[in-house]
Amino acid sequence: MSVTTSFPKNQIKVLLLEGISPTALDVFATEDFQIEALKTALAPEELGKRVRDVHILGIRSKTQVTAEVLAGAKRLLTLGCFCIGTNQVDTAFANQRGIPVFNAPFSNTRSVAELMIAEIVGLARQLGDRSREVHAGRWRKVALGCFEIRGKVLGIVGYGHIGRQLGVLAEAMGMRVLFFDRTAKLPMGNNVEAGSLEEVLAQADFVSLHVPETPQTREMIGAAELARMKQGSYLLNASRGTVVVIPALADALRSGHLAGAAVDVYPEEPATNGEGFMTPLQGLPNVLLTPHVGGSTEEAQAAIGREVAVSLTKFVNAGTTTSAVNFPVIEPPVNPGTHRILNVHRNVPGVLRDINRIVSDMQANIQAQILATDANIGYLLMDLDQDVSVDVQKAIASLETSIRTRILF
Ligand code: NAI
């Protein structure tokens, strides 16, 4: 038997929640997918009903995608988080079900870096305090304790996407940049790599944190580290709230050891906008407090829409899992004139042997075969002769170790 048509694109159903950017809809529309886009999140029960015949689900941070929801979503091929975090999804369960989850880790890099430049200038010129005073009708023109940032040392901790981007922008503003990362990184421009965190803390006029949240970065900056910082220096944190011990930072500001701080992230943040947020940093002089808006710009939202929609589309069309957060990564080339079969299986010994036996028993010709694995699953991609591909697909799907098997083209 041979059937050479794959699932028609115009029958692929996309459900997008939480007002995802129109840039994502543009990507899916070009593919001829059926799109349903809602402005709001859905509670798990309602979501469970709505996703039963959906192939692609797109959410932002408010929709909880539980194991139960995923278990009922029998047709779901892939899931996109149009944001940075993926805590709202049971990604481990999605992995076991063979559903790759994508997010947009880099779309707001530039937005965060620009905010840091604004805050460095804002701290150096005590802009928050001056603005608050004039709003209150108080005219207080001062130069004492206000500085240009030109020639000052910016210490960047965590020289990843944001850290590097910031290093480039800060140099354009005339700053000298010293960075520390736990792994060796190529310095951008004239940025200089420090040998240790201590070196950065001791030399920098401004210390800006850009590390991820890990057990090693938890409370990375506490009383001892703050004491190592230069007298009159500034701390900026737009990474994750748990990286800094907030009461220790408040003490360092109160004592005058630090001349100011800019904080965008907190150990505990409200789930929704509203009144009543409290932090020990409130009311301290020259402290810029923002509600986790580092990456919140219209440009970043548009870029997130494009980035995630393209990842989802590439997975559906070609099996590509580059940048999936819970899945072995494959980035396959297209082999014209072949049929592509994708198989997700439990990662136990002997699976590849069984699959290859099926292929050779059916005298199928393998043009290309790529396997990537993680601790739980294997993700196998095979490009085969068209003649036998449906038979091969059925036989592979019936293996006891197979989780999902799909013909692409
Ligand atoms: P990234 O993964 O590109 O870079 C992080 C860097 O930190 C890597 O180079 C890594 O090697 C380094 N690192 C990890 N552990 C370290 C340690 N113990 N000591 C020194 N360096 C260490 O991440 P990206 O995109 O630059 O983001 C950085 C942080 O910014 C993340 O925490 C992210 O969640 C946060 N973020 C905050 C936003 C906001 O709205 N405030 C928006 C976007 C990201």
- Identify whether the C-beta of residue 94 lies closer than 8 Å to the C-beta of residue 79: yes
Q: What is the mean pLDDT of residues 229-244?
A: 97
* pLDDT of amino acid 1: 36
**Which residues, other chains included, contact 226 with Cβ-Cβ below 8 Å and sequence gap of 6+?**
235, 248, 249, 251, 252, 257, 258
Instruction: Check if 269 is active-site.
Output: yes
- Asked whether 75 and 83 are in contact (CB, 8 A), the reply is no
Residues with CB under 6 A from ligand 1: 84, 105, 108-109, 112, 157-163, 180-183, 210-214, 216-217, 238-240, 264-265, 292, 294-295
* Cα dihedral 244→250→253→259 (10° resolution): 40
Interval 54-97: pLDDT, tens: 999 999 988 999 999 999 999 999 999 998 889 899 999 999 99
Give me the phi and psi of 376, to 5 degrees please.
Answer: -105, -35
- Long-range residue pairs from 362-370, CB within 8 A, at least 24 positions apart, any chain: 362/388, 362/391, 362/392, 362/395, 363/388, 364/388, 364/389, 364/392, 367/335, 367/338, 368/332, 368/333, 368/335, 368/338, 370/330, 370/332
Full set of structural domains in the chain with CATH = 1-107+299-327 (3.40.50.720), 109-289 (3.40.50.720), 328-409 (3.30.70.260)
Average pLDDT across the chain, whole number: 94
Best mutation site among 106, 116, 162 for ligand 1, i.e. most ligand atoms within 8 A of its Cβ? 162
pLDDT at 2 over 70: no
pTM: 0.84
- Mean predicted confidence (pLDDT) in 302-327: 95
Better-scored residue on pLDDT, 39 or 361: 39
Instruction: Please tell me the predicted confidence (pLDDT) of residue 335.
Output: 83
pLDDT of amino acid 390: 78
- Which atom in ligand 1 lies closest to the alpha carbon of residue 212? 32
232 has pLDDT over 80: yes
* Whether the predicted pLDDT of 5 surpasses 50: no
Between the CA of 184 and the centroid of ligand 1 the distance, in Å, is 15
Check residues 127 and 361 and name the one with the higher pLDDT.
127
pLDDT, tens digit (0-9, with 9 covering 90-100), for 155-184: 999 999 999 999 999 999 999 999 999 999
pLDDT score of 260 more than 80: yes
Q: What is the mean pLDDT of residues 242-271?
A: 96
Tell me whether residue 119 is one of the annotated catalytic residues: no
365 pLDDT band, cuts 50/70/90, is confident
Q: Which among 205, 204, 182 has a CA at the least distance from the CA of 195? A: 182
User: What is the structure's pLDDT at 338?
Assistant: 86
Q: Is the pLDDT of residue 136 over 70?
A: yes
DSSP state of 125: T
Please give the number of the atom of ligand 1 that sits closest to the Cα of 240: 32
pLDDT tens per residue, range 316-343: 999 999 999 999 999 998 888 888 999 9
307 annotated active-site: no
Residue 8 CA, chain-centre distance (Å), reads: 31
**242 CA to centre of ligand 1 in angstroms:** 13
pLDDT at 4 over 50: no
